[in-house]
Amino acid sequence: MNFIGIVSFVSDMIIPIVVSVMIIFGMKKKISVYDTFLEGATDGLKITVKILPTLIGLMVAVGILRESGFLTFLSELLSPAANVVGFPKEAVPLSFMRLVSSSASTGLLLDIFKNYGPDSFIGRFVSVMMSCTETVFYTMSVYFLSVNVTKTRYTLAGALIANAVGLAGALVITIVTFGK
């Protein structure tokens, strides 16, 4: 088995192991596991219902921004500046979209793989970059709105700094590891 096979085998094993361990341990402690499961699952469903309005509001806002062409416009605007600091301009729209929408950024990622190949410099860079950044706006909205907090203080600033460092780090690490 090659390395990627081992990695995907291990990740396939995580869920079955965690689920089994939880149940075995619960039974050992004489817990009525199925009743407890149902209790938790009911709460889990409530969570999903609770975040649905947030999701609708946010995905429509992102959808409008994307369909209007504004995101493309903004990333084109940023491209020259990105080029000055040595940031590959092909990756600007993706880096940007990554913060907003995971489905849209996956689409852009696959575009890059298709056009440049996953083993090109840009392909490697976006692979590394995708693993150290997060959909900030979505996560923030869902978590804060679930408890009705509207004053988010420095959360956005902190998250953007972390993602910017991730982005810059991904670029430097890719250059150091694979060359340009």
Partner 1 sequence: MLNILWAAMILIGVVYALVTNRIDSVTSACINSSAEAVAVCIKMAGIVAFWSGIMRIGEKSGLVSALARRCYPVLKFLFPTLNPRSKAMEYISANFIANILGLGWAATPPGLLAMEELQKINPDKKSASREMCMFLIINMSSLQLITVNILAYRSQYNSANPSEIIGPGIAATLLSSIAAIVAAKVFERATFGKAVRE
List binders of partner 1 among 22-61 (CB under 8 A): 22-23, 25-26, 28-29, 31, 33, 36-45, 47-48, 50-52, 55-61
Rounded Cα–Cα distance for residues 123 and 119 (Å): 6
- Residue 111: name the closest of 165, 133, 97 by CA: 97
Closest CB 164 distance from partner 1, rounded Å: 8
Enclosing H/E stretch for 170: helix 155-178
84-123 mask for partner 1 (x: CB under 8 A)? -------------------x--x--xx--xx--xxx---x
Rounded Cα–Cα distance for residues 64 and 60 (Å): 6
**The binder of partner 1 chosen from 16, 84, 150, 179 (CB under 8 A):** 150
Q: Which two tokens stand for residue 119?
A: 């083993």
Question: Does residue 13 touch partner 1 according to CB under 8 A?
Answer: no
Count of residues near partner 1 by CB under 8 A = 104
